[in-house]
Amino acid sequence: MKQLILAEKPSVARDLARVLGCKQTNKSYIEGPKHIVTWALGHLVELKMPEDYDKQYKQWRLEDLPIIPKHMGLKIIRQVSHQFRAIEQLAKRKDLAELVIATDAGREGELVARWIIEKVKWQKPIKRLWISSQTDKAIRDGFNQLKPAKQYDNLYQSAVCRSEADWLIGLNVTRALTTKYNDPLSAGRVQTPTLAMILEREQEINTFQPKDYWTIDASIGLLKASWEQNGEKRIFDEKKAKDIVNQVKGKSAKVESLLKKEKTESQPMPYDLTELQRDANRRFGFSAKKTSSVLQKLYEQYKLVTYPRTDSRYLTSDMENTMYERLQGMSAGYRDEVQPLLKQKGKVAAKKVFNDSKVTDHHAIIPTDEPLHLGDLDNDERKLYDIIARRFLALFYPVYKAETLTATLKVDRESFVARETIVLDPGFKVLSGKEEESPRALANLTEGQSLSVKDVHLEKKLTEPPARFTEADLLSRMEKYSLGTPATRADIIERLLGSEVLDRKNNKLHPTPKGKQLIDLVNDELKSPELTAKWEQELEAIARGKGNPKEFLENIRKQTKQLVMEIKTSSQEYRAHNLTGSKCPECGKLLKEVKGRDGKVLVCSDRECSYRRRKDPKLSNRRCPQCHKKMEIHNGKAGTYFQCKPCNIVDKADDTKKKVTKREERQLMKKYSANNKEDEGFGNSLADALKAAMKDKK
């Protein structure tokens, strides 16, 4: 009898099959003597849509809302139904003893597998593979320690509650807003309070009133000192600032006090997903989505890092024995940093990192023991791996120690302060390669010493409004209010950008006019981060076996009815921000300008009308035979055609001219480019390669 193993995607399935010795490859599974490994393609099963319950719901109407099915049903996703049918057929085999869930070890991975298992009506025992890295050793160890699937029933219940809550609130509120105001307006349990926080910051910026203030810097002896009073360096009274300058000019200063303070800084903890996304955004300008994508490749394809979608920054105590092997794995890329640590047998200096009580489903993101080949990684992959690796290496180095010296100098009744830091032990900061300078100007001072004031400089400045959020800032806010999970926050931000309620400019997030109006229309309760945080905490409690799924969903259903009723009875008005002056040629309503895949598109503002056309038609390289300008390219019912509107000339596309595919292009370049063929002066362009190919053909 064999095990049926269900992975989340083909690439993971291939790794599992290789480690388990499965070599017989089929279209939808890989078989071996003791195992059959098959895979999902992400979700194969989803919650039914409204029209699956009643065909009348295919048409969006305000009077049909809220749509709240008594029991939420499941359906197979049509685009991937072939893979579901393949798993369904496998599940009927008589030589299978049990099924092993090997999808991602998290809430969503559990949902992917359980819904498939439910739809194929699997009745035999089920076990769970729960691993935090994709290395061969981790896979083998995981299969030697398979858990009963029942241990993860609470996680599954939490996933179902999350999915149904998002369906009930997101679908009903989105349909209500869209039908009431006749414009695509999307709202949801997490995305709406996230957008509200950005609008709140925008309001702070718009209402901010800048104020003038002045700062005073002075050269006193060999020191650079600043005027300071009770920790405040700004002076908001111009006359007072000028009086101070006149008062201290040419005078002598007396060293009133010298304060020495030793400062220590502990090693930073390894990354969880949110902290890594924040850091990558600050350092490299990566979006949260990009960080997640690159990280997934490092985990899944290269097997260089542990499980990505974690909310913990700690490690379990049993991992202390694995540190030496992990250092060995990464030593090829970090020889200078790692060699001293290997001599110390991989002894971790920051013992606080090992804390079983602070590890939930997964530990922090750290390197695996897989041998590192930096040359295999592209630039973005190297950048992300490097900050994970250096954060991990910091655990083995001592704490950073420094001494801060603060000198307070009195000039008449005014105080000037000079500070400097002397590094005593750079500790883990040697890894950054940016050791702080250690000036010694204050070290030679003594209390009561007199110094002459050589120069005084007055500078006028303006108070600044709060800055717009970067993705790093927004992720911090989402984490603070428990909006979403580490695994979903990147997708929430992308959804807001995709629905055109947010813009990303120079790594700053700006609300659009559509976003500003949407927040005015949405119910106050749905905008509240506190309410969403409460829901998220309840979902977490359900996952831990301490919450009530039935009670949670009953409250969500009540909330859905209330939210829809508020929209129905609202007297708020809305005007699409992207309306143009042009009218639809089919129904006469105004056209809207929206972003399409190929540029800006004009669409009818009436949702019932399907009129749509490109704003700026795409130009081809074909020239008009009359005016010789480039002709527009269009796709009509009869196929592709070219048009010159000023000359009213239409020219059909020449289907005999076959386009060179990317694969053919690579083959041509490999065979005929100057780098690979010593020929009569041909270069390295595709055109040169084509000429060389034609010459050979002749």
Sign of CA dihedral 446, 449, 452, 458: positive
Burial of 530 per CB tally in 10 Å (0-12, 13-18, 19+)? exposed
Distance CA 237, CA 56 (A): 69
Hey, which bits of 277-426 come out as E strands? Answer: 400-411, 414-425
Distance CA 438, CA 435 (A): 9
CA 194 to chain centroid, in Å, comes to 14
Distance CA 215, CA 490 (A): 41
Question: Is 88 strand, coil or helix?
Answer: helix
What are the φ and ψ backbone dihedral angles of 5, each rounded to 5 degrees? -110, 125
Q: CA angle, 524 as apex, 521 and 530 as ends, to 5°?
A: 140
Amino acid at site 68:
I
Distance CA 339, CA 343 (A): 6
Amino acid at site 368:
T
Using left for φ > 0, alpha for ψ between -120 and 50, and beta otherwise, residue 448 falls in left
Task: Name the β-bridge partners of 333.
Answer: none
Q: Which position among 156, 181, 307, 334 bears the catalytic label?
A: 307
Q: What are the structure tokens assigned to 311, written together?
A: 């909310």
Q: CA angle, 515 as apex, 513 and 518 as ends, to 5°?
A: 110
Q: What are the structure tokens assigned to 624, written together?
A: 């008009």
Q: What are the structure tokens assigned to 265, written together?
A: 């800084």
Contact status, residue 531 vs residue 562, Cβ threshold 8 Å: no
* DSSP conformation class of 316: -
Distance CA 260, CA 445 (A): 12
C-alpha closest to that of 233 among 459, 74, 449? 459
Classify strands 96-102 and 2-7 as parallel, antiparallel or unpaired: parallel
Burial of 234 per CB tally in 10 Å (0-12, 13-18, 19+)? middle
Distance CA 478, CA 466 (A): 18
Distance CA 277, CA 623 (A): 48
Q: Report helix, strand and coil shares of the chain as percent, to nearest 5.
A: 40, 25, 35
Q: Catalytic annotation on 307?
A: yes
Task: Name the β-bridge partners of 29.
Answer: 38
- Using a CB cutoff of 8 Å and minimum separation of 24, what contacts does 535-540 make? 535/165, 535/189, 536/482, 536/483, 536/484, 536/485, 537/482, 539/158, 539/161, 539/162, 539/165, 540/158
Cross-sheet strand order for the sheet of 24-25: 24-25, 29-31, 35-39, 2-7, 96-102, 126-128, 147-148
Sign of CA dihedral 573, 577, 578, 579: positive
Q: Mapped to the 3 state alphabet, what secondary structure does 341-374 carry? A: HHHCCCCCCCHHHECHHHCCCCCCECECCCCCCH
Contact status, residue 529 vs residue 193, Cβ threshold 8 Å: yes
CA 22 to chain centroid, in Å, comes to 35
Distance CA 109, CA 649 (A): 56
Catalytic annotation, residues? 307
